[in-house]
Amino acid sequence: MPGGLKTRHRVKELAEQQLLSIMTLARRAKLSYGATRMIYHNPYHQAKYSTWYKLASVFDIPVAELVHVEGEQQQDTGQQGQEMDTTI
């Protein structure tokens, strides 16, 4: 992602809270076991919006609560610091 931002998801965390196995999660989301397994084990896995939507539906939450962008505040702070340095 531009500027060093990363997306991170909460699939594993939510599945564990609801005691869902990878297979059960895959079936409920109507995704393949392999794709679900890769997402489950990698919190930085990139997927299509439709995949996130299917997974969020299983947990009955909006996609925005399932996937979030990390580093937004750090990037803003860094940019402000750079702008200040160039104007001085």
Q: pLDDT tens, 43-83?
A: 999 999 999 999 999 999 999 999 988 775 544 444 444 44
Looking at per-residue pLDDT, the higher value among 74 and 6 belongs to 6
The pLDDT, as a whole number, for residue 33 is: 98
Whichever domain contains 73, its CATH number is 1.10.260.40
The pLDDT, as a whole number, for residue 69 is: 84
Kindly indicate the confidence band of residue 34, based on its pLDDT and cuts at 50, 70 and 90: very high
Task: Label residues 45-80 b or e (16+ Cβ within 10 Å = b).
Answer: bebeeebbebbbebbeeebeebbeeeeeeeeeeeee
Domain count, the chain: 1
Residue 45 domain boundaries: 2-87
The pLDDT, as a whole number, for residue 82 is: 41
Q: What is the pTM of this model?
A: 0.74
